[in-house]
Amino acid sequence: MGQSRRSFLTRLATSKGFRVLHVLSDEVTHIVSEDNQGSGLWAWLRGCGLKLLPKMHVLDISWFTDSMREGRPVAVEAKHRLQDALPESSPAPPMAAVSPYACQRRTTTENHNKIFTEAFEVLAESCEFSEREGPCLAFRRAASVLKSLPWAVQCLGAARSLPCLGEQTKVIMEEILQHGHSFDVEKVLSDERYQTLKLFTSVFGVGPKTGDKWYRRGLRSLRDILEEPSIQLNRMQKVGFLHYGDISRAVSRAEALALGGIIDGAVGRITRDAVLVLTGGFRRGKEFGHDVDFLLTTPQQGKEEALLLAVLDTLRQQGILLYCDYHPSTFDISKLRIGWYDAMDHYPKGFLIMRLEGSQVEGGLQRDKGDDRGWRAVRVDLVSPPMDRYAFALLGWTGSRQFDRDLRRYARRERRMLVDNHALYDKTKKEFLAAETEKDIFVHLGLEYIEPWQRNA
Ligand code: UTP
Ligand code: MN
């Protein structure tokens, strides 16, 4: 309940001789809740590490009002109890410890701890801009753990037993709980270098290194860059500036589906024997993304690269391929050094910008006020793995990035296995393990299956 409501009820109860505690501990006998979903409250309580929780009464406000009327704690009846999501007969199990690996947590798109995770993401990004990889990863891991919780952290005690939260992250959480914001985060947000790098890297084709180079030359705005005669933009950056407004605007699910239909149409003209799958954030159930990711493959092993090239040709002929950065296959199973690739895998792929007509999108386009062009540009990644690599590629391209990272870390540390977008290697048996589906990969790794919509780590 809200703070003023709680103060009022506390005064009322105290005046009648009740003892009201402000900190949750094993001393508490009755927990009173108002306007709360039972399941959320129970999940939170289980995360608080109480020994005597099974003995406590978890009650609706009706028990409190009845007790105030009587002037004494009334006997608890069934109607007072706040129902758990679990059946009443089964004793509440202690909450399973939260795993330090994202691939052992279920993380939906519903984030109950945005106030913390958004702060950590700003700090992680700021570390990234100054190439401090250690702290960057620490902030990302902390954010990821908090995203997985089905309840909001409302006191630091509740976060006590969580993994991946170091001293520094706890200090920041404490600040946010007390003041509503963190001074470190405010400092970063008002920092000129952070603001400028954030702006520069929002241009397609501009990474932190280039952004920093421009910053150190005293450039501060996108106009500064375009007007600086000595700057030679590459092809990617030129198109990035050209379509800046469109590309920096989020892509909706309806737009992603429309693009899927268009690419599927192009595929259909070439072969009836192909699969096009939407991956990335949209496969994880996100409603918006910064781009649209597709996997394209065919059961005719070895024909996938030709298929991709033919699809790109068709899109080009339709006049809807505004930009195409094509990367031919560098995949060679006999030379595969698994676990060595970092950002880019070996499959043939196109990093594209496509033209999407508003008339093809259910509900219309995402656009700025006053924009009546009737179309927009969208960033699309189209990747073509061979069919026998499909499961690995799908798992990798579905993400999230943090989920993938922890999957590799878990495999290496806990199973002596190496996994990436191409394959899974067992170092103990010294052999590659085949997989037709994502589930096969989880089984090999001894992990419970995590659905795509639970991988928003
Ligand atoms: P994205 O960067 O598109 O992220 O990469 P996303 O989760 O879809 O988020 P938004 O909504 O677009 O912002 C999707 C997944 O593909 C992997 C990434 O690691 C991520 O998990 N990926 C990306 C690769 O495996 N290889 C690449 O070259 C690029
Ligand atoms: Mn994406």
pLDDT tens-place string over residues 230-283:
999 999 999 999 999 999 999 999 999 999 999 999 999 999 999 999 999 999
Q: What ligand has the least distance to the C-alpha of 286?
A: 1
C-beta of residue 28 within 8 angstroms of C-beta of residue 56: yes
Secondary structure string (H, E, C) spanning 238-269: HHHHHCHHHHCCCEEHHHHHHHHHHHHHHHHH
- Residue-wise DSSP of 116-185: HHHHHHHHHHHHHHTT-HHHHHHHHHHHHHHHT-SS---SGGGGTT-TT--HHHHHHHHHHHHHSS-HHH
- Is position 332 annotated as part of the catalytic site? no
* CA–centroid distance, residue 279 to ligand 2 (Å): 7
**Does the beta carbon of 401 sit less than 6 angstroms from any atom of ligand 1?**
yes
Closest to 47 measured CA to CA, from 12, 83, 97, 7: 97
Q: How confident is the model at residue 39 (pLDDT cuts 50, 70, 90)?
A: confident
Mutate to test the pocket of ligand 1, among 341, 378, 389, 401 (most ligand atoms within 8 A of CB): 401
> What is residue 340's predicted lDDT score, i.e. its pLDDT?
61
Q: What is the pLDDT of residues 323-351, one digit of tens each?
A: 999 999 999 877 777 666 556 899 999 99
* CA–centroid distance, residue 196 to ligand 2 (Å): 24
Residue nearest (by alpha carbon) to ligand 1 atom 10: 289
On the question of pLDDT at 302 being above 50, the answer is yes
Q: How confident is the model at residue 85 (pLDDT cuts 50, 70, 90)?
A: low
Closest to 444 measured CA to CA, from 436, 455, 454: 436
Give me the half-sphere count of Cα atoms (radius 13 Å) on the Cβ side of residue 282. 24
The angle at the Cα of 349, spanning 343 to 355, to the nearest 5 degrees, equals 110
Closest to 347 measured CA to CA, from 425, 401, 293: 293
Q: What percent of the chain has pLDDT over 90?
A: 81
Between 395 and 5, the higher pLDDT residue: 395
CA distance 250 to 252: 6
**Does the beta carbon of 399 sit less than 6 angstroms from any atom of ligand 1?**
yes
Q: Which residues surround ligand 2, an ion (CB under 5 A)?
A: 280-281, 289, 291, 293
CA distance 375 to 380: 15
**Does the beta carbon of 55 sit less than 6 angstroms from any atom of ligand 1?**
no
User: In order of start, what are the domains of the chain with their CATH numbers?
Assistant: 3-80 (3.40.50.10190), 102-188 (1.10.150.110), 191-242 (1.10.150.20), 251-387 (3.30.460.10), 394-454 (3.30.210.10)
The atom number, within ligand 1, closest to the CA of 286 reads 11
Structure tokens at 316: 């080009």
What three-state secondary structure class fits 399?
coil
> What is residue 43's predicted lDDT score, i.e. its pLDDT?
78
The residue type at 83: Q
* CA–centroid distance, residue 69 to ligand 1 (Å): 58
CA distance 292 to 283: 10
* CA–centroid distance, residue 288 to ligand 2 (Å): 9
**Does the beta carbon of 281 sit less than 6 angstroms from any atom of ligand 1?**
yes
* CA–centroid distance, residue 63 to ligand 1 (Å): 50
Residue nearest (by alpha carbon) to ligand 1 atom 24: 397
Between 41 and 8, the higher pLDDT residue: 8
CA distance 429 to 301: 27
Closest to 233 measured CA to CA, from 204, 197, 212: 204
Pairing relationship of beta strands 292-297 and 375-383 according to DSSP bridges: parallel
> What is residue 46's predicted lDDT score, i.e. its pLDDT?
77
Among candidate residues 246, 291, 406, 420, the one labeled active-site is 291
Mutate to test the pocket of ligand 1, among 291, 347, 394, 398 (most ligand atoms within 8 A of CB): 291
Lookup result for tokens 């928003």: 456
| Entry pTM | 0.82
* CA–centroid distance, residue 292 to ligand 2 (Å): 5
- Is position 345 annotated as part of the catalytic site? no
301 bridge partner residues: none
Lookup result for tokens 């780590």: 457
**Does the beta carbon of 286 sit less than 6 angstroms from any atom of ligand 1?**
yes
326 bridge partner residues: 350
Residue nearest (by alpha carbon) to ligand 1 atom 9: 281
Among candidate residues 246, 293, 345, 420, the one labeled active-site is 293
C-beta of residue 84 within 8 angstroms of C-beta of residue 92: yes
**Does the beta carbon of 385 sit less than 6 angstroms from any atom of ligand 1?**
no
341 burial class (0-12, 13-18, 19+ CB within 10 angstroms)?
A: middle
385 burial class (0-12, 13-18, 19+ CB within 10 angstroms)?
A: buried
Between 92 and 71, the higher pLDDT residue: 71
* CA–centroid distance, residue 58 to ligand 1 (Å): 43
> What is residue 93's predicted lDDT score, i.e. its pLDDT?
43
On the question of pLDDT at 38 being above 80, the answer is no
C-beta of residue 64 within 8 angstroms of C-beta of residue 32: yes
**Does the beta carbon of 57 sit less than 6 angstroms from any atom of ligand 1?**
no
Cis peptide before 400 (omega within 30 of 0): yes
C-beta of residue 274 within 8 angstroms of C-beta of residue 297: yes
Q: How confident is the model at residue 89 (pLDDT cuts 50, 70, 90)?
A: very low
Least confident of 11-25, 111-125, 142-156, 197-211: 11-25
Cα-based distances in Å from 95 to 54, 111, 155, 202, 254: 12, 19, 18, 41, 38
Structure tokens at 342: 């970092």
Cα-based distances in Å from 393 to 347, 383, 435: 9, 9, 11
